[in-house]
Structure 1
Amino acid sequence: MMERCSPPTSPHLFSTSPRCFRKHPRALVLQRSHMSVNSSSFSNASHISNRRSFLCFDSPDGTFAFLTFATANFLLLLPLSILVIHVGFQRWTLQRSTSSTRVTSHTDVFTYHMVAMEFFTLLGSGLYCVADFLRNEQIMIAGFYLFSIILPGQTNFHCMTCIERYVAVVHPITYLGLRKTSGVRIRNISIGCVWLLSVGWMHVTYIHLPYLAVIPLFLFYTVSLLVISFCSLSVLWALRHPSPGDRSGDRVRVDQSKQRAFHTIMAIMGVLLLKFSGHLICLVIYRSTVAVGRDPCFVLKSSFWLSLPSSLVLPLLFLQRAGKLTCCKNNTASGQGSK
């Protein structure tokens, strides 16, 4: 009995006989198209599932870990940031009213910009928490992108602060020249590049989503730690081997300046080492947790706690120099009196 072949109108309504494919080639085209659509749908569904898993959209443990971090971030970082902006505005108003020629230090300017960048972090973490409450994945992704700005920006401002302290101690004559117009221009260009890199990091995050940009991130951390380690060792060498041109009457003042620079660099290197090593350990735990089929969201979101000290170090150092920290007022006053 001859098999009857009817013209295909749907990929589900044609015979799979080779004779029918030869008689109606459109049947083969429809079948291949149907398989392609199924494959594309499966790929999209898998991508969405991986993205929701990475964002911990349906994980109570991940939500709790990030919510506690966001709360602590708001309670600690927001008052410090507002106080830094307030002190900076007071100084700017005083300079305008007295027509002072005093130049704002590069370190203070770096702190102002890092605090401004932290406001994007606070906004991003707030959007993330609100999106989790509203069960809105798009708002959650927007919050995640805003939060990711701080990853390169914060570390770059830390590196620039350490380089500025290194130049001030090891190359004081060059540093005095950089406090003038040419140095201000270089500083502003560097700050602009940091902002561009931070915004560009959002695109890097978008490319790697629903996975972490592990290789670019850890390469960036490694280079930053090498730069900061070089600055700290150079300042320590200058502290232990004073210049033969230093007069005995000025040596105490010079040594105190070098010690403050060394303490600043060591504080920054300490929080970056905590952040780098902690994220590395959390990544290993995250991969092993995924391998055994457990929910990795609690480990992933808990790793954000390791970024909190690095967000606080520059504002705290700025307020210490300004004499706004009660516990450090006496030390700051004695240090400034010896200048």
Structure 2
Amino acid sequence: MSLLHFPNSSLESGPSRCNNTDGSLIGLALISTRVFLLSPVSLFILCHGARRRRRSSTAMSHFDVFTFHHCVLELIWILGSALQFLGSVMELQVVSMAAVYLSSCIFPGETLFHVLTCLDRYLAVVHPVLYVSSRSSRGVSVRNVAVLGVWLLCFLFSCAANNLSSGIYFRLFSGFLTCSVLLMLFCGVSVLCALIGPGPGEKAGNQKLVDPTVLRAFITVSAITGVLCVWFFVFLVSSSVSSSELLAPNVSCVLEVSVLWFSLPCSLILPLLYLLRTGKLQCGHNGRDEGQERDSAIN
């Protein structure tokens, strides 16, 4: 059950505090849901992106690149799940530990790609000139460095999760989530101000037509920030209640495992937004790929 490694969680590596039947069933249901729901979506998005890349010589947007890496991260977690099962069945401790290191990077990795996506939408709306330059070869290099930095931080968090005590890692991860949420809230508020405020050359108080590209950017940032804020709030409440010793150990165990279900929307939000951008979730769509068109429109 260590595949869903989480601070202060009964699914953490090492001796599990959650060995009752209810907690195990809830955790198994969550793992099965993530595998059978997210693996087909991730593979479809990666295949669709590869086809788009072969058909068009236009550089991929930053949003698409972050989504692709997000899907790769999800597939790595699924690999960790398979290795964990194999290690448990064959009683191979080395394989089980490798699985723990692979799977424990999913939460920080997903959060960081969410942050990069919100920053990308923020630049596109609030600083369009800078955003245009970010799509040049130099901007692509900066983006690639940022993506490399995310993977490096995933590795560091994975090492910390499996080597630090639960209390230290809990504080580290809570601080990381707090900074991420605050940064995304800043992006959301800034995009909202650009949406409702007067544009260049317009006077305050004049009726303003809503820019659909800015509206799409606001919806994207709001959706990502919203699901992460809900998960963060539930996580903090659950952790506080569990550490207060007000609940029986078996009830605390079930609570800690159940809260991980709130991380599922965080894993789904970027793939769903990608599918909406490319028209794959629109019934009766004519099949035309809109992703690059909408990104160029926002400039």
> Which category describes the TM-score, using the shorter chain as reference length?
0.7 to 0.9
Bigger relative contact order, structure 1 or 2 (CA pairs below 8 A, ≥6 apart): 2
Q: CA deviation at 1:334?
A: 9.9
CA distance in 2, matches of 1:140, 1:277: 31
Is 1:67–1:129's contact at 8 Å kept on the other side of the alignment? no
Q: CA deviation at 1:329?
A: 4.5
What SS class does the counterpart of residue 60 from structure 2 fall into?
A: coil
- CA 1:156/1:202 → structure 2, altered by over 3 Å: closer, same or farther? same
CA distance in 2, matches of 1:51, 1:111: 32
| Residue in structure 2 matched with residue 81 of structure 1 by the alignment | 42
Structure 1 residues not aligned, in runs of 5+: 1-49
What SS class does the counterpart of residue 51 from structure 1 fall into?
A: coil
CA distance in 1, matches of 2:124, 2:102: 34
Greater helix fraction, Structure 1 or Structure 2 = 1
Is 1:65–1:301's contact at 8 Å kept on the other side of the alignment? yes
CA distance in 2, matches of 1:150, 1:328: 34
One-letter amino acid matched to 2:51:
Q
CA distance in 1, matches of 2:87, 2:37: 22
Equivalent residues, number: 277
| Residue in structure 2 matched with residue 63 of structure 1 by the alignment | 24
CA distance in 2, matches of 1:328, 1:162: 30
| Residue in structure 1 matched with residue 10 of structure 2 by the alignment | none
CA distance in 2, matches of 1:118, 1:128: 15
| Residue in structure 2 matched with residue 287 of structure 1 by the alignment | 243
| Larger Rg, first or second structure (1 or 2) | 1
Q: After TM superposition, list the pairs within 5 Å mapping 1:12-161 onto structure 2.
A: 51-54=14-17, 56=18, 58-95=19-56, 100=57, 102-129=58-85, 131=87, 139-161=95-117
The one of 189, 192, 196 aligned to 1:240: 196
Is 1:180 aligned to 2:136, yes or no?
A: yes
| Residue in structure 2 matched with residue 215 of structure 1 by the alignment | 171
| Residue in structure 1 matched with residue 6 of structure 2 by the alignment | none
Percentage of identical aligned residues:
37
Q: Could you list the per-position Cα deviations for residues 103-123 of structure 1 after superposition, in whole angstroms to 9, with x for gaps in the alignment?
A: 211010011111111111122
- CA 1:283/1:327 → structure 2, altered by over 3 Å: closer, same or farther? farther
- CA 1:79/1:145 → structure 2, altered by over 3 Å: closer, same or farther? same
Q: Which sits farther off after the overlay, 69-78 or 123-132? A: 123-132
Q: CA deviation at 1:52?
A: 1.5
One-letter amino acid matched to 1:317:
L
Q: Could you list the per-position Cα deviations for residues 271-327 of structure 1 after superposition, in whole angstroms to 9, with x for gaps in the alignment?
A: 101211121122123324587444643222222211110001001101111111135
Is 1:274 aligned to 2:230, yes or no?
A: yes
| Residue in structure 1 matched with residue 216 of structure 2 by the alignment | 260
